[in-house]
Amino acid sequence: MAAKRQGLRLNLPGAPNTPHTVPGVPGYFYPDAPTPVGGPGELSLEAAKDCDRDKGCPLELIEIKPSEVEAAEELAAETLAEGRKGLIVAQRQGFQGAEASRAKDEHDSTKEESKNA
């Protein structure tokens, strides 16, 4: 069983259970599954704590149960991989209007965090 970890969860009542991006915060976030933080290639724990303290940020820092850590890590990795693949396809097709801004947010969300805990 994995050790306890912390993760960020989307805190927007009524949000669909799909991956969401938050401008300025790398990663994808779900309302029902936390995205692990503090590990290699993940958002640093310090940055996650800043998100949690920021009342304007729709993310909350929670503890991930040891029995759920592996599933959370797998979901985060799969979501990032799918997001990167989707961006490649979208770039080939070309962006129009607001899609360019959304593509930038998606691209920023799929970057690896360089400041790990």
Which pLDDT does position 93 carry in this prediction?
72
| Total number of domains in the chain | 1
Which pLDDT does position 36 carry in this prediction?
97
Backbone φ, ψ for residue 31 (5° rounding): -75, -20
The whole-angstrom separation of Cα 2 and Cα 7 is 14
CB 113 within 8 A of CB 34: no
Does the residue 26 lie in any domain? yes
Does the residue 100 lie in any domain? yes
Helix (H, G, I), strand (E, B) or coil at 2: coil
Amino acid at 105: D
Does the residue 98 lie in any domain? yes
Question: How do residues 27-54 score in pLDDT, each as one tens digit?
Answer: 999 999 999 999 998 999 999 999 999 9
Q: Which domain range does residue 63 map to? A: 5-109
Torsion of CA 96, 100, 102, 107, to 10 degrees: 140
User: What is the rounded average pLDDT for all residues in the chain?
Assistant: 85
Does the residue 102 lie in any domain? yes
